[in-house]
């Protein structure tokens, strides 16, 4: 399938690092994990994200299930998370209710480097609180996540305010008027889009459109007093935390639910797919979805794009090396070693076990190839004595251990080795 990809074991270390860092940073800020289904009623996304957005109009994986209900593979997590917040009455908890989730999202976009049809997000939401200091701390946490990965220096924080239900409609009209007056100088897509979603036109990447769009009225000048104050406070708190940003009054975001503070983290290193994370405030959305009139703010990080920025792990991947390779010689020895392997693994010692049907020499070669530190040999003689031979694969030195002691002995040596490295 186009636009989907496998994450192979060699890459998994980077993914674990990204997800582990997210958990550590988010939890330090008091966020708790919530796990959500990957599909929902289509209606939730259509209402939540906005009927006139590209996501809803062109990019959703929607189908009728066997009962004839329209369902959609989630294109983002915010709508689902708010649905859960409403459904389970989470608003009774102390505000802000802080939640994070991670997992696959689905958008039918044209695949290219850094853009997939199934991709993964780390998603964070803080609900029920509209203080500008919360906006600043949510953004601060996003930056902190990238600092922890040593990527913050390669990213730029873009910041804007889109106004609210009071002042945005006024701006929308003013912008639309301007776009109509300059329609002849705009590309077909802009002309097509402007009546439905004029703010989105500001985002057009076509060079010929830029002069007209760059001269368009700025949303900043249209903010009402409340929005202006809120935004000034957010900026003041970001300054207090020494978080650098650039003001970008052309930052509109692709989802319709945003009001006031919006932001993106961008990089110059990934070509056209330059947004590594994006988010903003969405006061009014919870109510629109049938919940209480709680405000909210959050962001999502694109994991694939973070992974693309990360350097390869310091050492080449060697795969999972077994600590010991257990070599039974014959079926009775295999039966004796099966429970030993189970017990060793229960103590987190990685062991491999032969099947007892090969020559000792070829099994020792295999132990060597697998990179095992120890080979454990049990033949007929050893079995009769109730012993096993432990062979140090590096030096070739051998000694015997009583079979009932074997699993414990392996665990002990494994501990010694681990505390040394």
Residues making contact with ligand HAM (CB under 6 A)? 76, 78, 107, 109, 115-116, 119, 121, 123, 125, 254-255, 275-280, 298-300, 302, 304-305
Nearer to ligand HAM, 49 or 367 (CB): 49
Measured distance CA(286)–CA(295) in Å, rounded: 7
Nearer to ligand HAM, 62 or 373 (CB): 62
Residue 196: partners with Cβ closer than 8 Å, 6 or more residues away: 52
Residue-wise DSSP of 387-411 = EEEEEETTT--EEEEEGGGHHHHHH
Nearer to ligand HAM, 203 or 249 (CB): 203
- Mapped onto helix, strand or coil, the DSSP state of residue 27 is helix
Between β-strands 398-402 and 32-33, what pairing exists: parallel, antiparallel or unpaired? unpaired
Nearer to ligand HAM, 73 or 344 (CB): 73
Nearer to ligand HAM, 299 or 325 (CB): 299
Nearest-approach distance from CB 85 to ligand HAM, in angstroms: 12
Nearer to ligand HAM, 128 or 298 (CB): 298
Nearer to ligand HAM, 171 or 282 (CB): 282
Nearest-approach distance from CB 265 to ligand HAM, in angstroms: 8
- Mapped onto helix, strand or coil, the DSSP state of residue 282 is coil
Residue of this chain nearest to ligand HAM (CB atom): 302
Dihedral of CA 55/59/61/67: which sign?
A: positive
Residue-wise DSSP of 194-239 = HTT-HHHHTT---GGGHHHHHTSPPHHHH--HHHHHHHHHHHHHHH
Nearest-approach distance from CB 117 to ligand HAM, in angstroms: 7
Nearest-approach distance from CB 280 to ligand HAM, in angstroms: 6
Nearest-approach distance from CB 361 to ligand HAM, in angstroms: 51
Strand partners, 280: 262, 298
Nearest-approach distance from CB 358 to ligand HAM, in angstroms: 47
Terminal-to-terminal C-alpha distance of the chain: 43
Strands (E), 218-328: 246-247, 259-266, 275-281, 296-302, 324-328
Measured distance CA(15)–CA(9) in Å, rounded: 10
Nearest-approach distance from CB 16 to ligand HAM, in angstroms: 19
């Amino acid at each position: 399938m186009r636009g989907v990809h496998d994450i192979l074991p060699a890459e998994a270390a980077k993914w674990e690092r990204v997800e582990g860092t997210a958990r550590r940073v988010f939890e330090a800020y008091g966020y708790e994990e919530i796990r959500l289904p990957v599909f929902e009623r289509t209606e939730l996304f259509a209402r939540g994200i906005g009927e006139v957005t590209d996501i809803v109009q062109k990019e959703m994986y929607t189908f009728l299930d066997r009962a004839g209900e329209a369902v959609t593979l989630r294109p983002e997590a915010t709508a689902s998370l708010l649905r859960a917040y409403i459904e389970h009455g989470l608003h009774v908890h102390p505000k802000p209710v802080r939640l994070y989730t991670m997992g696959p999202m689905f958008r039918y976009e044209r695949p290219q480097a850094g853009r997939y049809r199934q991709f993964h997000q780390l998603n964070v939401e803080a609900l029920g609180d509209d203080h500008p200091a919360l906006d600043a701390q949510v953004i601060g946490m996003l930056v902190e996540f990238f600092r922890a990965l040593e990527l913050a220096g390669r990213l730029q924080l873009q910041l804007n305010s889109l106004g609210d239900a009071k002042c945005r409609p006024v701006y929308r009209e003013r912008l639309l008027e301007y776009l109509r007056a300059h329609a002849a100088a705009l590309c077909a897509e802009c002309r097509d889009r402007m009546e439905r979603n004029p703010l989105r036109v500001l985002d057009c990447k076509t060079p010929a459109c830029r002069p007209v769009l760059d001269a368009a009225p700025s949303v900043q000048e249209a903010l009402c007093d409340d929005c202006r104050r809120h935004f000034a406070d957010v900026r003041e708190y970001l300054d207090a935390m020494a978080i650098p940003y650039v003001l970008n009054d052309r930052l509109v975001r692709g989802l319709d639910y945003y009001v006031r503070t919006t932001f993106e983290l961008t990089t110059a290193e990934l070509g056209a797919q330059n947004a590594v994370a994006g988010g903003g405030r969405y006061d009014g959305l919870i109510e629109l979805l049938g919940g209480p009139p709680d405000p909210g703010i959050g962001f999502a990080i694109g994991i694939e794009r973070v992974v693309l920025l990360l350097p390869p792990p310091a050492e080449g991947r060697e795969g999972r090396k077994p600590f010991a390779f257990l070599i039974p010689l014959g079926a009775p020895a295999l039966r004796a070693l099966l429970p030993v392997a189970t017990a060793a693994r229960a103590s987190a010692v990685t062991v491999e076990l032969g099947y007892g049907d090969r020559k000792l020499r070829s099994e020792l070669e295999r132990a060597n190839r697998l990179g095992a530190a120890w080979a454990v040999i049990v033949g007929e003689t050893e079995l009769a004595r109730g012993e096993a031979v432990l062979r140090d694969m590096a030096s070739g030195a051998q000694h015997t251990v009583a079979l009932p002691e074997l699993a414990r002995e392996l665990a002990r040596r494994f501990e010694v080795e681990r505390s040394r490295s």
